[in-house]
Amino acid sequence: MNRREWLYGVGLAAGTGVGWSNAETQPVPGSKSAPLPLSQYEPKSMLQVHETAVERAKFPVIDFHTHISVAAKSEKGVALSAERQYLGTPQELLAVMDRKNIRLMVNLTGGYEKGLAEAVQKYDRSYPGRFLTFTEPSYSHFKAGDYPRLQAQAIEQAHQDGARGLKILKTLGLYLRENITSGTLVKIDDPRFDPMWDACGQLNMPVAMHVSDPVAFFMPTDRFNERYEELNNHPDWSFHDHDFPSNAELLAARNQVIAKHPKTTFVTLHFGNFSENLHNVAENLDRYPNMYVDMAARIGELGRQPYTSKKFFDKYQDRILFATDATPHGDEFPQQVFNDKLYEIYYRFLETDDEYFDYAPAKIPPQGRWRIYGIQLPDPILQKVYHDNAARLLRI
């Protein structure tokens, strides 16, 4: 279904849904006597512009950022068990991958210990060349006196068990506390993690690092917030107030880590976690040669600044990795649910000059009320972003 058909579908739904105005005594939403609730506002664009269907990527793709497995148990934002929960079977993933020209999916949340070994067996080893798995820190051991050494050893063990990199969730900086789930927040550049970062460098395991979140999540959830609806739907995503550091403080602490461990490669996820300010991301890339970015769940941001994005992709074409944050059956988050549509939108953004299209398959744009524009990258850049940059970091 193209967007016009989709919009037509919505139009029909809205048309039949006006039942609320049947009773003539009831005010019609949107009229002067009854303001239209924001949640019911679904404007349909009257713009008639060219639409390109990109069903397959032009070149084979490595999706550097997906979540095929997640921790079976977590508390207050901290994963507390090695045990994994699997969100998609290899067969259902491979079917979409083959249709969409995805050569390889990187499952970042592979966990550690037994859970990691199981995930590697289930995907990487059963379907060689199609899946790779990253490990994660075991924060449940954080209180141990020799945690820094234990955690570095755990990285070595994970490497032996087949992990190809380390994933850091925003747990570090926003959830992990001195007593794991209580006490003061642990800083991203806490020296207790230094041996872990160094171990990753020694073992050539890239660190996929998510710190902070969209800037709007650090602002009050009020009428000025550009992501008001999203925060209203997910109040726990707000980091405004309480004892949370600011976005700037989190990024500064992350930069300290990158600067202090120049032999370790850091892929700062979600476009360096500052896609609202590509100038800042560029400055950091210039400053830190061991820093890379992935584009997961940020085409909504990149596509609303197409001129700046296109220049950025040109200048930093060796430092950007294709990624989606795809989560099988993650239907609550339309911008990252793993399916054909998700990839078609990413490909359309990267490969075409289409204008003003939806960045997620959803009735209401889930990450802010705007649409995006394609940046039509030339083939050599597409090849690097889709595949070669990730292949180099993953040593495949």
CB of 381 to Zn ion, least distance (A): 24
| C-beta of 299 vs 377, nearer to Zn ion | 299
CB of 93 to Zn ion, least distance (A): 16
CB of 294 to Zn ion, least distance (A): 9
> What's the one-letter identity of residue 231?
L
Q: Which residues bind Zn ion (CB under 5 A)?
A: 325
Element containing residue 65 per DSSP (H, E): strand 61-66
Q: Quote the CA–CA distance of 193 and 170 in Å, as a whole number.
A: 15
CB of 271 to Zn ion, least distance (A): 13
261: which 2 tokens?
A: 């461990």
CB of 210 to Zn ion, least distance (A): 6
Q: Quote the CA–CA distance of 237 and 234 in Å, as a whole number.
A: 6
75: which 2 tokens?
A: 């508390």
| C-beta of 189 vs 325, nearer to Zn ion | 325
| C-beta of 107 vs 352, nearer to Zn ion | 107
Q: How far is CA 66 from CA 102, 128, 285, in A?
A: 12, 17, 23
- Cα angle: 8, vertex 9, 12; to 5 degrees: 85
265: which 2 tokens?
A: 């490669």
| C-beta of 136 vs 325, nearer to Zn ion | 325
Q: How far is CA 97 from CA 94, 175, 341, in A?
A: 5, 33, 12
CB of 296 to Zn ion, least distance (A): 6
Instruction: Give yes or no for a contact between 375 and 311, defined as CB atoms under 8 angstroms apart.
Output: no
CB of 325 to Zn ion, least distance (A): 4
One DSSP character per residue, 252-309 reads HHHHHHHHH-TTS-EEEHHHHT-TT-HHHHHHHHHH-TTEEEE-TT-HHHHTTSHHHH
| C-beta of 124 vs 213, nearer to Zn ion | 213
Name the closest residue to Zn ion (Cβ): 325
| C-beta of 254 vs 310, nearer to Zn ion | 254
Q: What share of the chain is helix, strand, coil (3-state, %, to 5)?
A: 40, 10, 45
Q: Quote the CA–CA distance of 22 and 258 in Å, as a whole number.
A: 61
| C-beta of 212 vs 317, nearer to Zn ion | 212
- Strand pairing class (102-107; 207-209): unpaired
| C-beta of 63 vs 325, nearer to Zn ion | 325
Q: Quote the CA–CA distance of 265 and 198 in Å, as a whole number.
A: 10
CB of 17 to Zn ion, least distance (A): 34
Cβ-Cβ contacts under 8 Å for 239 (sequence gap 6 or more): 174, 213, 217, 218
| C-beta of 169 vs 377, nearer to Zn ion | 169
SS3 annotation, 26-64: CCCCCCCCCCCCHHHCCCCCCCCCCCCCCCCCCCCEEEE
CB of 108 to Zn ion, least distance (A): 6
